[in-house]
Amino acid sequence: MRASRPAFLAAILLVLEGIALGIVSIIELVQLGAGNVTSTPSGLGLVVLTLLVAVGLVLFAFGVLRRLSWARSGAIVFQVLAVALGLSSLTLQPIPWPFTIAVGVPGAVCLVLLILASRNDGRNDPRVQNRD
């Protein structure tokens, strides 16, 4: 069975988020190479962790397309964190609107799409059909 439309759209957003984080990690790596960091080991750790999250988001996207529940739930966790990060950025003065919008809005949209995909996949799962 094919992935539902919400699952397909969520997968696209997850891949785009993964690509964006990959670009951020490249920028971090360039800054690390230029010596613009306070601590080289911390900077290197940040680059590695950012790359791991980027790869994880892309893998979650493929899992969502294959209708795997662990991929949807893992992606939901990342989207909740993105929404929380976007909302917490509203407490800074001045408010970093580009960051808030770039992180919070895609996170909220993808969260809704993942919940809809979970709902659709649960409705069509033969394991839960006709249980009384």
Domain boundaries, the chain: 5-123
Cα distance between residue 8 and residue 67, in whole Å = 10
* pLDDT bucket at 1, cuts 50 / 70 / 90: low
Give residue 120's pLDDT: 82
The answer to whether residue 132 scores a pLDDT higher than 60 is no
Tokens standing for 17?
């988020």
For 35-87, how does the pLDDT look when each residue is reduced to its tens digit (9 = 90+)? 888 888 888 999 999 999 999 999 999 999 999 989 999 999 999 999 999 99
In the block, residue with structure tokens 């891949």: 15
Angle at 53 between CA 47 and CA 56, to 5 degrees: 140
Of 71, 89, 90, 70, the closest CA to residue 15 belongs to 71
For 85-122, how does the pLDDT look when each residue is reduced to its tens digit (9 = 90+)? 999 999 999 999 999 999 999 999 999 999 999 888 77
* pLDDT bucket at 10, cuts 50 / 70 / 90: very high
Angle at 14 between CA 45 and CA 24, to 5 degrees: 35
Cα distance between residue 88 and residue 95, in whole Å = 10
Tokens standing for 120?
């659709």
Give residue 6's pLDDT: 93
The answer to whether residue 19 scores a pLDDT higher than 90 is yes
